[in-house]
Amino acid sequence: MVRYAALKGLYDLEKTIGSGGFAKVKLATHIATGEKVAIKIMDKTALGVDLPRVKLEVEALKTLLHQHICRLYQVIETESHYFMVIEYCSGGELFDHIVEKNRLSETESRKFFRQIVSAVAYLHSLGYAHRDLKPENVLLDKEENLKLIDFGLCAKPKNGIESHLQTSCGSPTYAAPELILGKKYLGSEVDIWSMGVLLYALLCGFLPFDDNSIESLYRKILSGKYDEPSWLSNSSKKLIRAMLQIDPKKRITIQELCNHPWITAEFLNPVSFVHKTNFEKDDDVLSTMSAICGEHALEIWKKLVKSDRTDYKTATYLLLLDRKLRGLSLRISHSAKSHFKSECESEANSIISKLDYSPRSKSTKRSPVSNTVYNPLPKTPENVSNFMEPHLPGRKRLRSKETDDVCSPVPVKRVAEKDKVISTPTSTPIPDSKGTQSSTPGSARKVIMGIERGLNRVRCVLTPKRRMKNENIDPDQPNVFSGKGLCNVSSTNSDDPKYVLSQLRRALRRKGIMCHQKGFILQGETEDCTEDEKDTTRPFSTRNTCSFELEVCLLDGVTSDKLLVGIRRKRLKGDAWVYKRVCEEVLALAAEDLSTEPECSTESKCPI
């Protein structure tokens, strides 16, 4: 049963893949085509002052058409909710991809960064500035192509991209010096700075400017001084320096980036993009829809041209177009037909009533449909498009006086696990309790392998892509995950999940992290209580909150003889780097309690 009446007969909702303060993102199936989409569901009553940002994001996505920017299929507005139907991305965040690999090679970083440069150059050519570029706002499709998301902070100055802006927004660790100083700025120049921080994170696995204290962080950014690890090539160092110039007038431009030698190396051609804002006309797709609808293809196209992405027919056209660009046949699935027939008494009111339906329309036109049987169009041998299946999550970003956060799904990659971890004695869980917030240690532990590889004596195995068929539904027993397709799971040698759970609770208390327990799942939330939210001299809100989930589980397929106890990690909302640091510290504390071996003295560089 569809919970939301506006989606009934149009989309089949599935699991929640992201959530936040006022919105959640669900995986769904577009009934007419059978394609997977992501639907961002926003409660209007909870939006408050963020409502204009939602409208801004919608209007921007209606205009933007680029292979590395997420595609908006449909927007449905009711009295109580907004529904944004977007491309679904199964590869997760670029941030998680960096965490998984510790840091990326120069070749892989170049591949990703070229795609980011192409998307940003396209944005700037249309007069838009993104203003919140960071790895959490870049998703990967199943082919590992990037999709830029989250345009809630984008700006389009009335007098063009070279017009100055005043609103300080974005994430502090990616903020340009002029933003911190509260000066007027050019959107294109602050985007270049953020791209410099992003490239540094790709190549190094940590941020160039990072500190638990917001004042110290600002001082580091304003100084422009950062470490250059020995593994960086000279050409990489030069490019990062060109982007991280304190004086925005000395910063490299997007046009120069497209032609930079580091960007063109191994590709032998500069970054390019197609300047377009209207989706293309495709006769094959129109013919397919005509066969379904019983309406002439030309009439369908005339309606699509005038569409503002609020109708189901436009979403159907765009999804069929994406199928063709991926070399797939154009068809309506049998499940969709049977679904429509079950909803309507007559065949004439089945598919057509859904294709013409718009929740905002006061009336709908229904055309008679003949009992037409058509053959799927042949697969096209042309180059496959990059329009695949991303997910659009909103993300928490820090701005002048308000915040917004929606989480995105975890990636579904797999990496090789390595050594093993110490065994532990058994015990009983510690009773539920709450702790008070305490400040986290300094951010000297920069290397991102801290979560995936460098946790003190905790081995990385990987987060479940899928659970086993015999998943345990007993609340008194942990879930069992397959050893295949896992990521973001640390394993131990313990065979007692209740003891591991008790040690996790103890570690959370020692960190002063608020904790709620449900079965073998612990939900923690951190909060920076040292800030003064009433300090209007600060250009950003500096509230470093982070919500995350730790689940004690059993891992099958890790060893041949027995199930191991694992700890699954998932960020629910908040800053990704705060999440990384907090999980790193909590799991390290838990590992100390579980360990019977002496600790490694080198921080974040213990053998796995």
Catalytic machinery residues = 132
Task: Report, in this order, helix, strand and coil percent for the chain, each rounded to 5.
Answer: 35, 15, 50
Q: Residue 126, SS3?
A: coil
Handedness of CA 163, 116, 327, 332 (dihedral sign): negative
What are residue 23's phi and psi, to 5 degrees? -145, 160
Q: Under a CB-based contact definition with an 8 Å cutoff, are residues 315 and 357 in contact?
A: no
List the end-to-end C-alpha distance of the chain, in Å, as a whole number: 47
Handedness of CA 121, 126, 130, 135 (dihedral sign): negative
- The CA–CA distances, whole Å, from 367 to 132, 292, 354, 600 equal 45, 11, 11, 73
Instruction: Locate 340 and state its tokens.
Output: 């429509």
- Between CA 307 and CA 304 the distance in angstroms is 5
Give Rg (Cα) of the chain.
25
The DSSP secondary structure of 76-100, one letter per residue, reads EE-SSEEEEEEE--SS-BHHHHHHH
- Between CA 195 and CA 201 the distance in angstroms is 10
Q: Under a CB-based contact definition with an 8 Å cutoff, are residues 418 and 493 in contact?
A: no
DSSP-assigned letter for residue 362: S
Q: Under a CB-based contact definition with an 8 Å cutoff, are residues 170 and 190 in contact?
A: yes
What are residue 491's phi and psi, to 5 degrees? -105, 155
Beta bridge partners of 462: none
Amino acid, single-letter form, for residue 538:
R
Please name the residues in contact with 161: beta carbons below 8 A apart, sequence gap of 6 or more. 124, 127, 128, 129, 186, 187, 188
> Which helix (H) or strand (E) is 120 found in, with range?
helix 106-125
Each as own residue / partner, the long-range contacts of residues 559-565 (CB below 8 Å, 24 or more positions apart, any chain) are 562/495, 563/480, 563/495, 564/491, 564/492, 564/493, 564/494, 564/495, 565/478, 565/491, 565/492, 565/494, 565/495, 565/496, 565/497, 565/500
- Between CA 255 and CA 506 the distance in angstroms is 53
From the list 359, 350, 292, 346, the residue with the least C-alpha distance to 319 is 292
Handedness of CA 556, 557, 560, 564 (dihedral sign): negative
Question: Treating both helix axes as pointing N-terminal to C-terminal, what angle do 312-325 and 283-293 enclose, rounded to 10 degrees?
Answer: 130
